[in-house]
Amino acid sequence: MKILVQDKQGVRALEEGFASEEELQTFLKEHPDLMPLEEIELDAPGLLCIGWEVGLASGAEDILYIDQNGLLTVVETKLRRNPEARREVVGQILEYAAQMSTWSSADVERQAQKFFASPEAPEEYRDCALEKALQRFQESRGVPPDFSYDDFLQQVQTNIDRGRFRLVIAIDEPPEPLLETVEFVNRFSERFEMFLVQLKRFRDLAREQNIFVPALFGKVAGTRPPRTRWDEGRFVQHLRASGDMETVDYTLQIYERFKAWTDEPYWGSGVTIGSFNLLLLTRDARVNVAQITSRGDLYINFGSLTSKIPEGLIRALARELRQIKGIALPSDLSNKYPSLPNAVLKDAARREQVLKALLGLVEGIRSAND
């Protein structure tokens, strides 16, 4: 692509290209709005950078972003002249996503805090915790002040547990074989999405200006249904479609208890799996205790309980659950969201023990809040 500029001094050509992949990476780190998100989703939320050269077992992610919906976006930058810009980069970014699928929301918070403490972080977020940085980011974009950080952390964990990531290969010129591979991945993947972002850069040396032309490739129409909140009818219909009546029975029993105990009905917005959350409202926080899903999984949200309720209540819950045959919890639960074995939930006596332990926690939280 050749771009010419005409002004009073005549016609001049703009210089095209990036000196290195690091230069491309730096522009994207410092200016996330260069990502053409509106081509992915019309009202896609903005991106906050929380990582630069993020160290993982198999290498280092170039850039890590997060948005207000708790969706992590991994960016790997390549220039066309790099031979890895063809097939190797796809395997590389998928490997990064696989390793991040073992993270918890607490790991994301730690990664963000590490980045904001580094010289690479923007000045306005320097030395911030993720909650504070996100608050400043939201304020700068005019997001309503009722944004819930607790809900955000829960959504981060849900996205990770379900393998929902956005993977982006940023490149100056996409090779055709790479584009075909990305389109194939998107056509048949149900959870994560992968895109090519072309970012062409032109330099006006006379005016000392950069001109960027972003474009998105790899989007495949109709591969994913829209994300909407679930409701009881849809939840029950999806549950019954499994055909496993044992799972249907115990899931509905747990759902009815949660519905009776919750302070506010709160449904998830998963694309393929629904969830109902046991949510308690205290003076200081919204406490998401647990969730039951439309496939019969029961998650205990120890990771989000840690900073919101007395530690003694958390220890008591863990102690009671560990006494139930078939339940093994890790010793450190501070950032864990374990699911209980289905075999335990299908057993009526052990299921009642689980529900009794959860009710004890609910009553303890309410008593502490009086």
Alpha carbons 195 and 214: distance in angstroms, whole number: 13
What does residue 311 show for φ and ψ, rounded to 5 degrees? -60, -35
SS3 category, 306: coil
| Pair 209, 24: CB distance under 8 Å | no
195: left (phi over 0), alpha (psi -120 to 50) or beta: beta
Q: Given this model, what pLDDT does residue 152 score? A: 86
Q: Given this model, what pLDDT does residue 56 score? A: 82
Q: Given this model, what pLDDT does residue 250 score? A: 97
Q: Given this model, what pLDDT does residue 87 score? A: 65
| CA-angle at 226, arms to 223 and 228, nearest 5° | 150
Q: Which residues of the chain have pLDDT under 70?
A: 1, 42-43, 83-87, 142-147, 190, 221-227, 270-271, 334-335
Q: Given this model, what pLDDT does residue 84 score? A: 60
Return the bridge partners of 77, or none. 170
DSSP assignment of 129-167:
-HHHHHHHHHHHTT--TT--HHHHHHHHHHHHHTT--EE
pLDDT, tens only, 155-184: 898 888 888 899 999 888 877 778 888 888
Alpha carbons 348 and 356: distance in angstroms, whole number: 12
Return the bridge partners of 300, or none. 290
Q: Given this model, what pLDDT does residue 144 score? A: 56
Q: Given this model, what pLDDT does residue 158 score? A: 86
Q: Given this model, what pLDDT does residue 154 score? A: 82
